[in-house]
Amino acid sequence: MPELERVPLNATAKLDLASSWPGEPIQQLHQVTWSHAEHTPQVFLISSYLSDSEVTVIGLSPLGQELWRVFLTPGKPIAASGIEPFDDKRLAQAIVADLQLQRWPLATVNSHLHNARLVSHEAERSVVTNNGEVIWQAQAHTNLVTIANKVRGYTLKLELLDEQAFTTKSKGE
């Protein structure tokens, strides 16, 4: 079985990406605004499907053109494709890392973090390194989540547009 994808969060902190979602399957569509002090803000859509057998994240232009696709399944390395510059594997890892830090249960994320911990207080989550530095932060408000990656200098604003949960039927139904 291959090792989990290890994503650097800063010089010492790392996150092993989970290849499955620990809850009921769910599909979400977000509008995302990406901001960085040195670049023009970008708006795109992200469609994600999370289940116990896969994590799929697809980035779309505002007009629906697929920009990238990231696919994780248990026991296999991350698979990523996309148009340039979205075909960079490091970008795929960063996208999934942001998703998992923001969405996965606290205990699950903390079991995958190295030299850091994820802390939660009310509607806020923060990744704090072992030396006390806050390197990542997410704040949730109803259908809007703002993520600040303090190391890479970008901010993401994710507005939930649609969500569909899939319940697992028990045998005999």
Task: Enumerate domains of the chain plus CATH numbers.
Answer: 6-162 (2.50.20)
- Give residues with Cβ within 8 angstroms of 53, minimum separation 6: 20, 73, 74
pLDDT, greater one: 163 or 127: 127
Instruction: List, for residues 80-99, the tens digit of each pLDDT value.
Output: 999 887 888 888 889 899 99
The answer to whether the beta carbons of residues 106 and 118 sit under 8 Å apart is: yes
Cα→Cα distances 32→36, 38, 96, 138, 147, Å: 13, 18, 14, 14, 10
Instruction: List, for residues 43-85, the tens digit of each pLDDT value.
Output: 999 999 999 999 999 999 999 999 999 999 988 888 899 988 7
Among 33-47, 74-88, 138-152, which is the least confidently predicted range?
Answer: 74-88
Task: Please determine, for residue 20, whether its predicted confidence score (pLDDT) is greater than 70.
Answer: yes
Residue 3: band (very low, low, confident or very high) from pLDDT cuts 50, 70, 90: low
User: What is the pTM (predicted TM-score) of this model?
Assistant: 0.88
Q: Which residue has the tokens 């072992």?
A: 130
For a pLDDT cut of 90, what percent of the chain falls above it? Answer: 76
Query: What is the Cα–Cα distance from 63 to 13, expressed in whole angstroms?
Result: 36
